[in-house]
Chain A
Amino acid sequence: MSHSDIRDLIPLYALDALEEPEAAEVDRHLKDCEDCRQLLSESYQVTSLMADDGPAPSHVWQRIDYQISDLEKSEIVDLATRRKQRRWMSIALAAATAAVVFAGVTIMQQSIEGDEALVALAGGVADNQGSVVADFVVDDASVAQVVLGVDGVGYVIPTDSLAPLDSDRTYQLWVITPDEKVISAGVLGATPGPSTFTWKGDVAGFALTREVAGGVVSSDGDVVSLITDI
């Protein structure tokens, strides 16, 4: 596409109204075109006016603050702790590197070293009194372990038995509440690695489902495994 063609698309790009092939082309063009970057900035200025300046949802700050603390904890776990948790570490080495999480969670990119740190942390939490520890099981084999600490920080640790999905699919974790609500706790990716989630409240169970890439708001249930005996 010519500069003129791309420039015509900038207002639609600012509205997030382009589909992937065109959006990617605009992305590439923007790297080298100051004129289009300026037009995009002006378009974003217009679109951002569509938001109201109401009060910030203060209870969400607690979640953010908590999540950041959790991220920092995962970065400072030391080797001694990891060695102590060798049983947990052994199941993570083949893990993939991405976990996209929402519903009280985050987007995380974990290196293998980060994976090990998460597994070590999960192991430590699993040993604490009051933690919930459960396995997603398929054909008598554990495909993932879930650990949820009393502080509301949870960990999902897939095993080698969890089959990779096609790139247009994802695993998704769900919390089942005592009143039988099913709430997304995170999108785990097509080849999940260890990841975290947060859940503050009572838990009656967990579900692991297969969904379209990006995750879904509510699942009709391509259920991989269900935990209901907590």
Chain B
Amino acid sequence: MGRTTRPWQMSTNTDSGVAARVRSGERAALEQAFNSHGGAVKSMAMRVLREESLAEDVVQDVFVAFWRDPAKFDDSRGSLRTFLVTIAHRRAVDLVRAEEARFRREERVPQESEPSIDDEVWTRALGDTVRKALDELPDRERKAIAMAYFGGLSYVEVARRLGEPEGTIKSRIRAGMTKLSVSLAGVST
């Protein structure tokens, strides 16, 4: 299977230059990365956490982590934006799950902040291209992906909340992601 260079891969020269400057301790390079990608990082954190102050904490955490260990960014694997947004999602999910674990530990019923299974809430604010790609998915696949990605839930937890077998949810997510990969191929970040 041959692979062609995608637009997002073409931006890596700039990204690698910024990363190299960060590695050499140039704080202006980090600020440049922040100005370019801080909005995307915050928007990802907001989608999961839905609280401004927590999302800003994640933004801070992501860029300080990049400053402390810029070598973790590998420009052959994708853009700097993708790298930073991916870290932001992981950190946001960690916060959500810590809160979930607290509820379970205290044997309490989660409050209304529990992620809704109404994926419309999550997908409403997405850009046109991404929203269209999500809209083209079967409802069941879109819902499973939205609950996992925007709700910070594991597929096991998604299955529990939807009352479906874990294997079914796993298959839906996998199928939906495969379709998204095809429909969004070539979309630049």
Interface residues of A (CB under 8 A from B): 8-9, 11-12, 14-19, 37, 41-57, 60-61, 63-65, 67-68, 71, 102-107, 183, 211-217, 220
Contact = CB atoms under 8 A, between A and B. Distances in A.
Interface in B2-20: 6, 8
Contacts of B8: 45
Given A44-B86, A52-B43, A68 B37 contact: no
Interface centre among A9, A46, A67, A214 (most CB of B within 10 A): A46
Contact of B34 (A9, A49, A50, A64): A64
Contacts of B152: 16
A57 B39 contact: yes
Given A52-B43, A56-B38, A102-B61, 9 more contacts: A8-B170, A44-B82, A45-B8, A52-B40, A63-B56, A106-B60, A212-B105, A215-B98, A216-B99
Interface of B: 6, 8, 27, 30-31, 34-44, 47, 51, 53-54, 56-61, 63-65, 67-68, 77-79, 81-82, 85-86, 88-90, 93-95, 97-99, 101-102, 105-106, 125-127, 129-130, 145, 148-150, 152-156, 158, 170, 173-174, 177-178, 180-181, 184, 187, 189
Contacts of B90: 16
Given A17-B154, A56-B42, A102-B57, A12 B77 contact: no
A56 B27 contact: no
Given A15-B173, A43-B177, A50 B47 contact: yes
A33 to B, nearest CB: 14
**Main SS class of interface, B:** helix
Contacts of B153: 17
B39 A212 contact: no
B47 A214 contact: no
7 contacts: A12-B173, A14-B177, A50-B126, A56-B42, A60-B34, A63-B56, A216-B102
Nearest to B42: A57
Contact of A56 (B37, B82, B173, B174): B37
A49 B98 contact: no
Nearest to A41: B77
B102 A45 contact: no
B155 A12 contact: yes
B82 to A, nearest CB: 4
Nearest to A52: B43
A65 B82 contact: no
B132 to A, nearest CB: 12
A107 to B, nearest CB: 6
Contacts of B63: 64
A11 B174 contact: yes
Contact of B148 (A12, A57, A106, A107): A12
Contact of B60 (A19, A104, A215, A217): A104
B133 to A, nearest CB: 8
A213 B177 contact: no
Contacts of A213: 98, 101
A11 B155 CA distance: 11
A63 B77 contact: no
B85 A67 contact: no
B101 to A, nearest CB: 5
A61 B174 contact: no
Contact of B57 (A42, A49, A50, A103): A103
Contacts of B170: 8-9, 12
Given A48-B82, A106-B61, A57 B149 contact: no
Contacts of A214: 94-95, 97-98, 101
Contacts of B38: 56-57, 60-61
Contacts of A9: 170
Given A17-B148, A60-B38, A212-B102, A49 B184 contact: yes
